[in-house]
């Protein structure tokens, strides 16, 4: 059935990008929060390195690795934010172009309909690819963050085992 005779097809071309715009905005909100936390962590680590003179060599090396990882995480998050902003813009453009196409069809103007359909499809496709790319960036950032967490856990576990080993042996008695 041609798009000119199917009102649901036009509605789909308008509502689908609008729904995806909302999904992109939700991703933007969560990613913006992640970005704030990543920046706060970088500042916290920088302050810790600068002010804590009691850090040993291994502790200082860990904090420097974490600081470098924080920078990488922030870069990945910024790239994801850029993708999500691109997705929002593309979906808004797709919705607008679809609406213009629907108005043209309702007035019986057929010359602009194929262009409107093609432009809405292209901008919507750009939005979908931008969302997917942003989600992949966040996946990389999450995995990177988890590796840093494991690195810190291993460091702390080693520190605890060293403390336990240095404790004086106490007689085992009944308590």
Q: What is the pLDDT of residues 94-144, one digit of tens each?
A: 888 888 887 887 788 888 788 888 998 899 999 999 999 999 999 999 998
Q: Is residue 104 part of a domain?
A: yes
Q: Is residue 36 part of a domain?
A: yes
Q: Is residue 137 part of a domain?
A: yes
Q: Cα dihedral sign for 31, 36, 42, 45?
A: negative
Contact criterion met (CB below 8 Å) for 76 and 137? yes
φ/ψ (deg, to 5) at 109: -85, 115
Domain ranges, residue 89: 8-166
DSSP state string for 34-79: HHHHHHHHHHHHHHHHHH-TT--HHHHHHHHHHHHHHHHHHHHHHH
- Report how many domains make up the chain: 1
φ/ψ (deg, to 5) at 112: -90, -10
Q: Is residue 148 part of a domain?
A: yes
Over residues 39-49, mean pLDDT: 88
Q: Is residue 100 part of a domain?
A: yes
Contact criterion met (CB below 8 Å) for 27 and 128? no
pLDDT at residue 171 tops 80: no
Q: Is residue 112 part of a domain?
A: yes
Alpha-carbon dihedral angle through residues 39, 40, 46, 51, given to the nearest 10 degrees: 170
Q: Is residue 24 part of a domain?
A: yes
Q: Is residue 92 part of a domain?
A: yes
């Amino acid at each position: 059935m041609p798009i000119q005779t199917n009102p649901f097809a036009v509605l789909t071309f308008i509502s689908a990008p609008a729904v995806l715009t909302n999904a992109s905005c939700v991703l933007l909100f969560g990613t913006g929060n992640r970005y704030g936390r990543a920046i706060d962590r970088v500042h916290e680590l920088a302050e810790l390195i600068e002010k804590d003179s009691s850090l040993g060599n291994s502790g200082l090396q860990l904090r420097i690795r974490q600081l470098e990882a924080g920078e990488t995480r922030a870069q990945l998050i910024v790239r994801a934010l850029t993708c999500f902003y691109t997705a929002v813009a593309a979906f808004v453009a797709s919705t607008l172009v679809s609406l213009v196409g629907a108005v043209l069809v309702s007035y019986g103007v057929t010359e602009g309909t194929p262009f409107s359909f093609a432009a809405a499809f292209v901008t919507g496709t750009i939005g979908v690819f931008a969302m997917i790319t942003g989600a992949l960036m966040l996946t990389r950032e999450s995995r990177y963050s988890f590796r840093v967490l494991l690195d810190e856990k291993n460091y702390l576990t080693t520190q605890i085992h060293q403390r336990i080993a240095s404790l004086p042996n106490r007689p085992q008695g009944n308590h």
